[in-house]
Structure 1
Amino acid sequence: MFGKPLRAAGAVTALLTLLAACDSHPHPVHGLRDTLRHVPARTIRATRPHMVKQCTTSTSRVGHSSTSGSGTHRHTRHWYTLERRQNCHKVPNGTETYRKELSPERWCVRLDDVNGNRKKDDVWYRVTRTDYNRVLDADDDRVQFEPLFPNNGCWGR
């Protein structure tokens, strides 16, 4: 008796949950500037094969034919030409060193009184370099920005 309506309600609930999860774009936040943190990128030296372009040339014999005339006066002529082809591909030739990035550079801001809620203190937000510099240079402790990732922390490496 209640099977179809309950299934429909469950499907609607699942759809609304999915839509809420998809709308996870960070919204602008404001609050009192607490702490700023810049985490530099962490890299190591690594090696990889150095790839160079290598080409090989090949020659092949290609046959051609041409027909002229019609009926009993038809004549077919055959001839051959040599065509050169070049095949290029990359092959390893030694090694090269490069900087491998283990973790990216991050700029973070910790806020108190987030969005006017006095109980919401010490919340970290990852921000762009531009927003970080703007918050760093702000004359007032009250700041507003759009975070890259809300409350994801900015500690550790």
Structure 2
Amino acid sequence: MDHSLKTKPQIIFAGENHGGLAAFKSLQSSFSHIEVLSDDDNILKKMRRSDSRIFSFREAKAPLAVCAAYRQLIEKEILDKITIINTHPSLLPKYRGVHALAWAMINMEKELGFTIHLMNEYVDDGDILEQFRVDYNNQSSPKILNLFNENVEHN
């Protein structure tokens, strides 16, 4: 029996890659039915029977979404209809856009972190809900990425 047809989706997840997978797994521990907007095979393999795949925000039924490593621009019309929370791998407002973590490391920032914020029509510009700082002590890039993924998954 397909339970996804009987229960209303509680939240939308949109994302890709390792950061997206960590966020998706975290959402699964809190929500029983997630609408999944992703082409990432690793994320799609982790879907449960109660989750459902969507191909655009226009199909979504849930009123709330979380984006993690989602690279598509979202139209204002969608943002007006759905509350969307984004995870971004920098301490905003610094390093908006793509490759934020790489730029912070290239610029030898003493402090790295990630931001959870509401999305608006501008890239990485909405109201900041929370920021998490990550102590990296000049570790190698793979170790830093693992620290970030662990922090996303557990926060």
Please confirm whether the aligned pair reaches a TM-score higher than 0.5, indicating the same fold. no
Bigger fraction of residues in helix = 2
- Bigger radius of gyration: 1
The two structures have a TM-score, normalised by structure 1, of 0.21
Higher RCO (CA < 8 A, seq sep 6+): 1
Bigger fraction of residues in strand = 1
